[in-house]
A and B are shown apart, each in its own frame.
Chain A
Amino acid sequence: MALTDTPTIRPSKGSLFLVALPIIIFILFFTQFKSPDRPPV
């Protein structure tokens, strides 16, 4: 039995919204691009 044989979870629209919203807020307000990764202009 492979890992991919296990049943897939299909969340509802509401659940997806509750998962996506914190990620959007997290990326938008709490993170920035890592400065050493930015190529020199």
Chain B
Amino acid sequence: MNDKRKTQHELSILRAIQRDMDIITAGLLLAGQFTIIGIFITPDGFALSVGGPLSGESRIESKNNNQAVDATIDAIDILLAMLLISGKVGIGAITVSSDGFSFTIAGPIFGTQKPDPTLPNAPKVFKEFNTVVSKHFDIDMDSQKN
């Protein structure tokens, strides 16, 4: 029972970290530090990739200084930030490249699954690990001292 409560507590911490990442990314999108930089197509739907100089990536801009295209990029960024803040979408993955990394935004509204924190069998695994380690790997700490 105690393990279950501990797992629930850890899940709530993970959920809070995910929510913080969503809010920070939304703030960076609204501040213009991040822009949409790509799109991933999956069998279920699609996911949008965002990044900026803070993550080592380049933002995008219009070709030939077209104001309408710049306004569209801003509109997409604002829409993404609103969806992130409202919790409809979330940070689904981080893509690492040679320059830096970008955040991938996924959610049911894009046809993809919004990631949910999980700790499958964590208490059981920890208990088994502790049992095995204490039973077979009894380290004599005195021998470790110089």
- Seen from chain A, the residues whose Cβ lies within 8 Å of a Cβ on chain B are 2-4, 6, 8-11, 13, 16, 19-20, 23-24, 26-27, 30-34, 37-39
From the candidates A2, A10, A20, A39, name the one contacting B99 in the complex (CB within 8 A).
A39
Of the listed stretches B6-14, B65-73, B128-136, chain A binds B65-73
- Seen from chain B, the residues whose Cβ lies within 8 Å of a Cβ on chain A are 36-39, 41, 45-46, 48, 52-53, 57-63, 66, 69, 72-73, 76, 85-88, 99, 107-111
Give the CA-CA distance A33 to B87 in the complex, in Å.
Answer: 29
From the candidates A2, A31, A39, name the one contacting B60 in the complex (CB within 8 A).
A31
Instruction: Give the residue name and chain of the A residue nearest to B61 (CB).
Output: A34
Residues of A near B61 (CB, < 8 A) are 31-34
